[in-house]
Amino acid sequence: MPKRYDTNPLDPEFPNKVREAQTETLQNLNAETQQFPFSAPTEEQTRKFGDADFASYSSPFNGQDIPVTYRTAKLADMNQASSREVSKVGMPEKWLIGLPYIPWYIGLVASLIILFVVPKSETKVRFHAAQGLAAHLAILIVSAVLGGLGKVTDVADVGNGIFQVVTMIMLIVFAVKAWKGKPVHIESVDDLTEWLEDKIKPRN
């Protein structure tokens, strides 16, 4: 004799047994459909952005709208100089990004010191130090070539003198611009700048 919950489909009485065992009649409670209580709109729910709120979301960064309150220090404007003292150096940031461009070997030595001392986290300071060092090295190479040619022809000697004056003025302009926070980009030394910044690591 099959059990109550026997599910053998070959049993001819299977459908009737299933209906008898599992059919349950639900009670009719005659309940009415209830609605949520009406809530009138308030000013808090429909508040619009004010000018100050809207401005905080209207400053793009890298093609995206990022609230000003959510920007971190690393996302700060790379062209904005500040008086913040850089760790392990104790000098304001704006001085450290201007020093590498000072002519007469001062910038060259300053660039090396900054790259050896300033940590990798100070990306802006290290970039200007590497770019200033690259500019000084490029000037020294060109000056050496023109100086060698100057022993052969007077034209190269005169050209070397003009080159020295022009590059000195150029470096002074770069130093002032960097100190003021204006962008300084020497495209001709981009590869050397990147190589120097990567290879010269800070000494702990």
**How do residues 118-172 score in pLDDT, each as one tens digit?**
988 888 999 999 999 999 999 999 998 888 887 777 788 888 889 999 999 999 9
If one compares 184 and 152, the residue with the highest pLDDT of the two is 184
| DSSP designation for 204 | -
For residue range 69-115, list pLDDT tens digits in order: 433 333 334 445 677 778 777 788 888 999 999 998 999 999 999 99
Pick from 64-68, 109-113, 192-196: least confident: 64-68
Domain boundaries, the chain: 82-199
Closest CA to 183 of 77, 86, 75, 60: 77
Instruction: Please give the Cα distance from 46 to 10 (Å, whole number).
Output: 66
Q: Confidence band (pLDDT; 50, 70, 90) for 64?
A: very low
Sort 112 into a burial class: Cβ within 10 Å, 0-12 / 13-18 / 19+. Answer: middle
If one compares 23 and 164, the residue with the highest pLDDT of the two is 164
Q: How many CB atoms lie within 10 A of CB 167?
A: 18
Q: What pLDDT is attached to residue 132?
A: 95
Q: What pLDDT is attached to residue 35?
A: 73
